Every structure is written in structure tokens, then in C-alpha cells.
Structure 1
Amino acid sequence: MTDIFHEIEEDLRRERMRKLWDRFGSYLIALALLVVAGTAGWSGWKYWREQQAFKASAAFEAASELAAAGKYQDAEAAFQALAKDGPAGYAALAAFRSAAVAAQVDKAKGVAAFDALAADAALPAALREVARVRAGLMLVDAGTLEEVRQRVGALAAGTGPMRNSARETLALAELKAGNAAAANKLATEITEDAEATGGERSRAELIRRLTAAAVPPPAAPAAPAASPATQ
């Protein structure tokens, strides 16, 4: 008797499954096909990304070799091509290398290239700040104090991660312009910054030693006034 009930239950279960399949089978097949297609598409996209990164890496290495060999114009063109068509990470790196290579031939052209990067809203703010400091550094030798201030003055006075690099750049420009006291002040700000790196501190200490004579000694404390009883 029990077997009969089991057979009936099994028949009912099969009947429910058949009805469910008749109703939703096509949807299940479509879903399965979508999963397979999606997996294949993801794998294909991932492979394509890897190939693009490999090609960009090879192109960047080739451009770097041209720069190391002193073929600056060829290297600049190669970096510019990668900056235009390469993946985002390599494109940004290539744009900076292109500007640096341009500066090897023509400082003014290099400054203009870094200025363009500093003004590129498509780049992260941190990279734009790096570009401003790079332009300022080149102008320490090739420009005026005011031109350096235009690039890094706001960074040096701020609290961003590039503040000490900007202070150092501006201190060098002040020192070159003969403003030893101003250079000393900027160097002191670096040494007193708890987040300054070891290299930044060492260079700032050197600037402080070079400009120490321009800093007036602290004023002697005033002598206490004599009390009426001692007069």
C-alpha cells in the first residue's frame, strides 16, 4: 500500500515538474545562455585588457630606451602616441615622460607640457599637483621667482601631500633670487612638518645651514623693571 502512495506522489511530482518546465523552461534556457555568454564575454574582455596592457608595456619600454639613447625627439613622439592611445595608467605615465623628454631638448617646451598636464581636468588632482611642481622645478633654473610662485605658491601654503615638495622648490627659487631669509623660513616649515620624508628633511636642513646667517638671532629677553623698594 505504501508503494502505491509513493508511486502516486512520484507521478504528481513529475507532473508538477513537467508543467513548470512547460511554463518556464524557455526562460531557464535563455538564462543559461546569458550566463554562458556573459562568462565568455568577461573572459574575452579580460584577455583583451591583458593584451592591451602587454602592448602598452612594450611600447613604454621601447620609448624609454629611445630616451636613454639620447633620441629625445623619437622618444617624445613614442610617448605621445602612447599617451593618446594607451590604457589609462600607461597613458598618464607616458604623458609625464613625454613632458620630461621634451624638457631635455627645450626647457620652455617642457614647462609648457607640464603646465598642460597641470591644467588637464581629466587627470587626478594628485597628478596635476605633481605636474605643477615639475614645472616649478624647471623654472628654478630657467625662469623667474614669480613664475615659480605661480606654479607652486598655493601648494606650498596648503596642506596637501605635495606641500613639502612645493616648499622645497620655492625655497630654491627664493635662494637663487637672493632671498635667504625667505628660503630659510620655507626650509624650516619642512623640517617642522611631521609628515616630511627623510629626503625632504635632509635637503631642507642643508638650505637652513646655507641661509642661517640671514636669520636674525632671537631677541634677548627684556630685563625686569626695578621695584620701587630697590630704587
Structure 2
Amino acid sequence: MSELFDEVDEEVRRDQLKKLWDAYSIYIVAGALLIIASVGGWRGYQYLEAKKAAEAGRAFDVAVDLSEQNKHVEAEAAFNSLAATAPSGYRMLARLRAAAELATRDPQAGAKLYDDISADRSVGAAVQDLARIRAAGLLLETTSYPSMLQRLEPAAKPEATFRHTARELLALSAWRANDTAAARQWLDTIANDGETPSGLRSRAEALQALLPPVAKS
């Protein structure tokens, strides 16, 4: 008797499953197809992005080779092409390298490209500071200390990534302008930062030795 009831229950379950399948099969199939399509689309996107990155990497290497061969005009054109078409990481690097290539012929124009990067918030604060520093390095011999201070003060703050280089450039600029008070201020800041690289610290100490002694009151 119990076997008969089991067979009846099994038949009832089959009928219920069939009714459910008849009612909802189209939605189940559509959902499964949507999942397959989504996974396939994501895999395709990943493949295309990896392909673009690989192509950009090869093009970047070619541009670097041109630079190392002192073919700066060709290298600049190659980096500018990457800056316009490459994925974001290579695009940012290419903009920096294009500015460097231009600076080999025209430091003022190269500094202007770095200024454009430093004004672009989309590249991130660290890259902005790096661009500020590279522009300032190109203009060190021709720009006044107040102008250098305006350029580099944000990059010289305690939390800034490239603060050590920014402070060294400011100390050099102040020294060139015979502003010993400002030079000493930046050299003291370099000396008092425990994270100052040893090479930079040595250069700062050498510059400190060139300053006149502090007048005693």
C-alpha cells in the first residue's frame, strides 16, 4: 500500500513540475541565455582590453627606442599618438614622455605641456605634482623664486609624494635669487624630514655650507 502512495506522490510531483515548466520555461531559458551572454560579453571585454594594453605596450616601447636613439621629434609624435588613443595608464605616461621629448628642443614649450598635465585633475594628485616638478626643473634657470614658490608649494607639503624634490628645487631657486632666508628655510625643512633620501640630504648640506652664517643678535 505504501508503494502505491509513493507512486501517486511521484506522479503528482511530476505533474506539478510539468505545469511549472510549461508556465515559466520561457523565463528560465531567457534567464540562462542572459547569464551566458553577460559572461561572454565580460570575457570579450576583458580580451579586448588586454589586447589594447598589449598593443599600447609595444607602441610605447617603440617610442622609447626612438627617444634613446635621439630621434626626439619621432618619439614625441609616437607618444602623442599614444596619449590620444592608448588605455588610461599608457595615456598618462605618454603625455609625460611627450612633454619630455618636446623639452629637449624647447624647454618652455615642454614646461607648458607639463603645466597642462598638472592642471588635469583626472590624472591624480601624485601625477599632478610630478608634472609640476618637471616643469619647474625646466624653468629653474629662468623663473623667479616667487614664481617657483607658486608652482611648487603644493608639491612640497608634508603629505606630498614628491615633496623632497620640490623642496630641493625651491631651495636652489631661493639660493639663485640670493634669498638666503628662504633657502635656509627649505634646507632646514629637508634636514628635519626623517624620510629625506640620503643623496638629497647630502646635496642640501652642501648648499647649506654655501650660505652665509646666520647673524648673531
Query: What TM-score does the superposition give when structure 1 sets the normalisation length?
Result: 0.86
Q: Distance between the aligned counterparts of 1:47 and 1:14, measured in 2?
A: 44
2:104 match: secondary structure: helix
Is 1:2 the counterpart of 2:2? The answer is yes
Is 1:216 the counterpart of 2:204? The answer is no
The percent identity for this pair of structures is 36
- The alignment's C-alpha RMSD in Å is 1.9
Q: Which moved more, 1:12-21 or 1:159-168?
A: 159-168
1:135 match: secondary structure: helix
Q: Distance between the aligned counterparts of 1:25 and 1:203, measured in 2?
A: 77
Residue 131 of structure 1: how far off its partner (Å): 0.9
Q: Distance between the aligned counterparts of 1:207 and 1:91, measured in 2?
A: 38
Is 1:119 the counterpart of 2:151? The answer is no
The aligned counterpart of 2:92 is 92
The structure whose Rg is larger is 1
Q: Which runs of 5+ in 2 are unaligned?
A: none
Structure 1 residue identity aligned to 2:162: M
The aligned counterpart of 1:29 is 29
Q: Distance between the aligned counterparts of 1:24 and 1:218, measured in 2?
A: 93
The residue correspondences of 1:10-49 to structure 2 (distance < 5 A) are 10-49=10-49
Is 1:162 the counterpart of 2:162? The answer is yes
In structure 2, do the counterparts of structure 1 residues 158 and 193 end up closer, same or farther at CA, with 3 Å as the change threshold?
Answer: closer
Q: Distance between the aligned counterparts of 1:97 and 1:47, measured in 2?
A: 27
Is the CA contact 1:139–1:147 (under 8 Å) kept in the aligned structure 2?
no
Q: How many residues align?
A: 217
Query: What TM-score does the superposition give when structure 2 sets the normalisation length?
Result: 0.92
Is the CA contact 1:118–1:131 (under 8 Å) kept in the aligned structure 2?
yes
The aligned counterpart of 2:189 is 189
Q: Distance between the aligned counterparts of 2:26 and 2:191, measured in 1?
A: 72
Q: Which runs of 5+ in 1 are unaligned?
A: 220-231
The aligned counterpart of 2:55 is 55
2:196 match: secondary structure: coil
2:160 match: secondary structure: coil
